[in-house]
Structure 1
Amino acid sequence: MSMIKAYLRQLRPTQSYSLRQRMLTRTALFMCAVLATLSVGVWHYANTSADYSYDRLLSSASVTMLDGINVAQDQVYIDLPYSAFEILQLAPEDKIYYAIYGPNGDFLSGYSDLPIAPTATQQEFEQPRYELHTYKDQKVRFIARHKRLSERSVAGNVTILLGQTTKARDEQMRDTLYAALTTLMVVMALALLVMWIAINRALSPLNWISSQLVSRSPMEEEQLPATRILEVAPLTHAINNYRQQWLGALAAMRDFIADASHQIRTAQATTKAQLEIALSSKDDVIDKQIVSDIYQDHSKLTRLTNQLLVHATIIHRGDRQEFSRLNVHTMLQEVITHAVRDYAHTDIEFEYIPSSDNIIILGDDIVLKEALRNVIDNAVVHGATSHSERHGVIRISLERSESIGYLQIEDNGPGIPKEQRSRALERFAKVGGNAHGSGLGLAIAQSAALAHHGQLTLSDGELGGLAVCFSLPLSQEPSHASFNR
């Protein structure tokens, strides 16, 4: 997966570019390729057309010349008609070369050094043969045609070789090619112009969206107007959703800051009042009770500040979603070890019931550890030892189903009434007998669970107190390790 991501990053352009320019450039390159392909076809058509036209002249002239070859006085008599040369005068700048061979292959008239052979196959007696050769430093198109003489004194085949230079046909080929290419280039230019206009029209909704966003305040709640363009509607819908999420997150941050400020100011005001009472005392000896109250207020302020920082950290890291594969059993062992060390001076007993199967999730190690520590701290503060003389017990258990891992922390304290449990998950909410807490512990735990696409539930525990359960989706990647108790 990492190799694929690296490859995709290489494909991304490192510099900014114009979408309009890129579309026009690629369209122009495509049309140039089409023009090149069509040019080859037009060139072939122009050649074929010119050859067809002037080959007909050669064929007519050769037939006329063969009509002038007869047998007279027991020998071949040649009387070339003037009309044959008039036919070839349709190409006045071209030269004519011919040769006539008798029945035995004897040269009779014309040019004896023509580069085309007078011999022929049986098929060529029915159809003439065309060949292109270089003769006297010129390209010459030849035709070879045969006539059978059946007189008693002279019997056999007479062959005429007739050639014409290719100036006229080359000129016709060039005229046809240039005319066709000019037409194609004009059509391509018009197509590019139409494409440029179409691209500008297609990209105009982006300019409209940009103008709408520039003219609006980031704090404005009004959404972008709906559009009837099917391709643009998802973009405006996504922008509106993003703005709503942004405004919702901003509102939540405002509420959080306001609540946090209120809680901190309240704790500071209480501490300040205690200090003022101590300073206003006329006794030289400060009352230990006042010092104890100041110490407790300071401890509450310190805990509140720490929890606010933890909550902000969880929200920030949860938004980044930089998860890795975590072994929940290993993580819990570390958290429990720290908890046992921190509360070694108390009468609280910790129990851990691991799962028989290995539980692997995709998560943030720091976020989950902070959430678990807050839940354990809550269980210590609000458990049995804080409300009675009973021995405090905190049980941590780990289970799994096919796709969900369950991490539960319960205590033997008084718990939270069912009707108040939903409110207990809100920030700074104090329920039950919790009059001195910050109201952030369970809110932090719920934020961590939601950041991992899970949920947090509160229920009655087997120990008689509150049970806090994290339900976290398991990693879908295979894991072959297992844990045995």
Structure 2
Amino acid sequence: MTEPALPETTGPESAEPGPVATTLSLKSRVVRGVLSLLFVGGIVMALVAFGYGRAAARASYDRLLLGAANEIAGSVTVSDGAPVADLPVAAFQLLALAPDDRITYSLRGPDGRVITGFETPLPEPVRKAGGGFFDAEFGGLAGSERARFVTVPRRFAERDFSGTILVTVGQTLRARNAMALGLTRDALIVLGLAGVLLIVLGALVVERTMRPLEGLARDLAARDPHDLTPIDTAVPAEVAGMIGAMNGFMRRLERQIASMRNLISDTAHQLRTPVAALRVQAELAAEETDPEALRATVARIARRSRSLGDLLDQMLSRALVIHRTDSARRVAVDLRDVALAVIEAQDHALIAPGREVALEIGESPVMVLADDLSLTEAAKNLLANALRHGAGAVRMGAAIEAGAAVLWVRDAGPGPDAATLARIGARFERNAASRGRSAGLGLSIARAVAEAFGGRLALEPGAGGFRAALILPAAEEVP
């Protein structure tokens, strides 16, 4: 029976980042965009060029057609009371400029009969106007080749003949169409060459634009894994937003890493003395033979265990608060609700049974933009610090002072001396270390929360007692 395959262990190689999901490159997008524009623009330009070429060809060949008709009309004379046409060679030389086209002509007398040439039906508007251009079938047969015609009048007022002679000259459209197609073809060739030039220039511009990003990628790849300093490389304005977001992300990541490092160092620093004291007390209890002394030693071990538990709670609370200040979304929080929640939790009844604790809040809201849980943890630590190290009754409240939102805790004691006050709130500030109790970690949590939300921790001894307050920027009330 074969043994089941064990999963492969993951080593350092497995921590390598996988391939980054990519889409079309900027070069490809530019080329596609230019090609799309050229395709649509080419269709529009082809239609415009064909229309322009057709209009230019029609104007050019209409002038030739009109010139030939005028030449023929100028050759008409009156002889013995009847019009006579001596067809000039120059008229047909003009029409011969379109060698592939067929031509036709006719001369009509005042009665409408054809004097010479081929029968060509005249449209009624041309007949009434006495001349003009029109399109019709060559030879007047339906389904035959289309042609362009012009009718020119020649008026006579003589004794033996009076009336208007209509000279009609027609020509097929082959040369006109060829000229229109040639103009369209030339325009599209120019457009195509311009499009190729635009694609090449676009690719070069994109490549030149991407050089700062490629340099940025090389700099990031060459960085030390622990280097989270902001990126100060000069980049285009369009990329500055991304670099700013990346720098913000690295700042948050650096704070998270610093928080983990601080937690580890705090654990090593803060727990060393209480754990050593517990070990000594346990060894003494193991060797003690006097029952009374044994009970006293066990009582000391119990007190130190409770103190160690409180210290661990504070350290974990500090790590949680620092993590949430970077990751939690800022919302509108009323500091009166925070103070009320802390008092209603009744933690003070466990920390200092029988101690008087009062809540002082007004009717006006005290709004800030922050994280509710972080503020609650900070307020709990302020209250616990006042109960453990203060004297007399403890009061807690929230109010607007000098335009700032303030969450405060006041006890009736004088507070620490100036030297201790200057050090208090630091991470490793300890009081009665031999007893394993922390005096500064709770205030360190409150200070970290205040600074995370743009405020500060104020420690204010005075005649009315010692006050510790979170002073934060006030926010407008959100409905």
Normalising by structure 1, we get a TM-score of 0.83
Query: Residues of 1 paired with 2:331 and 2:54: CA distance?
Result: 69
**SS of structure 2 residue aligned to 1:326:** strand
**SS of structure 2 residue aligned to 1:450:** helix
Determine whether 1:460 maps to 2:461: yes
**1:96 aligned partner:** 103
Determine whether 1:259 maps to 2:260: no
Query: Residues of 1 paired with 2:340 and 2:118: CA distance?
Result: 110
Query: Residues of 1 paired with 2:402 and 2:86: CA distance?
Result: 107
Q: Return the offset for 1:243.
A: 5.2
**2:389 aligned partner:** 382
**SS of structure 2 residue aligned to 1:339:** coil
* Cα deviations by residue, 1:32-63 (Å, 9 ceiling, x for unpaired): 33333333332222112211221122011111
**SS of structure 2 residue aligned to 1:361:** strand
Specify whether residues 195 and 276 from structure 1 end up closer, same or farther in structure 2 by C-alpha distance, changes over 3 A only. Answer: same
**SS of structure 2 residue aligned to 1:22:** helix
**SS of structure 2 residue aligned to 1:314:** helix
**What is the aligned counterpart of 1:176 among 176, 183, 187?**
183
Q: Which moved more, 1:353-362 or 1:58-67?
A: 353-362
* Matched-pair contact (CA < 8 Å) for 1:94–1:166: yes
RMSD: 3.1
**SS of structure 2 residue aligned to 1:119:** helix
| Long gaps (5+) in structure 2 | 1-20
AA aligned to 1:456 is: L
Q: Return the offset for 1:196.
A: 1.0
Query: Residues of 2 paired with 1:278 and 1:22: CA distance?
Result: 78
**1:201 aligned partner:** 208
| Long gaps (5+) in structure 1 | 1-13, 385-391, 480-485
**SS of structure 2 residue aligned to 1:282:** coil
Specify whether residues 221 and 375 from structure 1 end up closer, same or farther in structure 2 by C-alpha distance, changes over 3 A only. Answer: closer
Q: Return the offset for 1:164.
A: 0.8
Query: Residues of 1 paired with 2:32 and 2:431: CA distance?
Result: 67
Q: Which moved more, 1:313-322 or 1:358-367?
A: 358-367
Q: Return the offset for 1:221.
A: 7.1
* Matched-pair contact (CA < 8 Å) for 1:410–1:461: no
Determine whether 1:129 maps to 2:132: yes
Q: Which moved more, 1:138-147 or 1:422-431?
A: 422-431
**SS of structure 2 residue aligned to 1:178:** helix
Query: Residues of 2 paired with 1:443 and 1:411: CA distance?
Result: 19
Query: Residues of 1 paired with 2:434 and 2:325: CA distance?
Result: 28
* Matched-pair contact (CA < 8 Å) for 1:420–1:431: no
Q: Return the offset for 1:475.
A: 3.4
* Cα deviations by residue, 1:232-272 (Å, 9 ceiling, x for unpaired): 77876876776577556645642442132221232212111
Query: Residues of 2 paired with 1:165 and 1:443: CA distance?
Result: 99
Query: Residues of 1 paired with 2:332 and 2:247: CA distance?
Result: 34
* Matched-pair contact (CA < 8 Å) for 2:321–2:449: yes
* Cα deviations by residue, 1:61-97 (Å, 9 ceiling, x for unpaired): 1111101222111122223223322321222221113
Query: Residues of 2 paired with 1:412 and 1:181: CA distance?
Result: 92
Q: Return the offset for 1:323.
A: 2.7
Determine whether 1:76 maps to 2:83: yes
**1:451 aligned partner:** 452
Q: Percent identity at matched positions?
A: 27
* Matched-pair contact (CA < 8 Å) for 2:383–2:409: yes
The 5-angstrom pairing of residues 159-308 of structure 1 reads: 159-220=166-227, 226-227=233-234, 246-247=253-254, 250-251=257-258, 253-283=260-290, 287-308=294-315
**What is the aligned counterpart of 2:116 among 109, 114, 132?**
109
**SS of structure 1 residue aligned to 2:326:** helix
Specify whether residues 233 and 346 from structure 1 end up closer, same or farther in structure 2 by C-alpha distance, changes over 3 A only. Answer: closer
Specify whether residues 302 and 432 from structure 1 end up closer, same or farther in structure 2 by C-alpha distance, changes over 3 A only. Answer: closer
Query: Residues of 2 paired with 1:244 and 1:352: CA distance?
Result: 38
AA aligned to 1:453 is: G
**1:11 aligned partner:** none
Query: Residues of 1 paired with 2:51 and 2:319: CA distance?
Result: 75
Q: Which moved more, 1:428-437 or 1:271-280?
A: 428-437
* Matched-pair contact (CA < 8 Å) for 1:314–1:367: yes
Specify whether residues 463 and 347 from structure 1 end up closer, same or farther in structure 2 by C-alpha distance, changes over 3 A only. Answer: farther
* Matched-pair contact (CA < 8 Å) for 1:417–1:432: no
Query: Residues of 1 paired with 2:223 and 2:342: CA distance?
Result: 48
* Matched-pair contact (CA < 8 Å) for 1:449–1:471: yes
**SS of structure 2 residue aligned to 1:287:** helix
**What is the aligned counterpart of 1:119 among 124, 127, 150?**
127
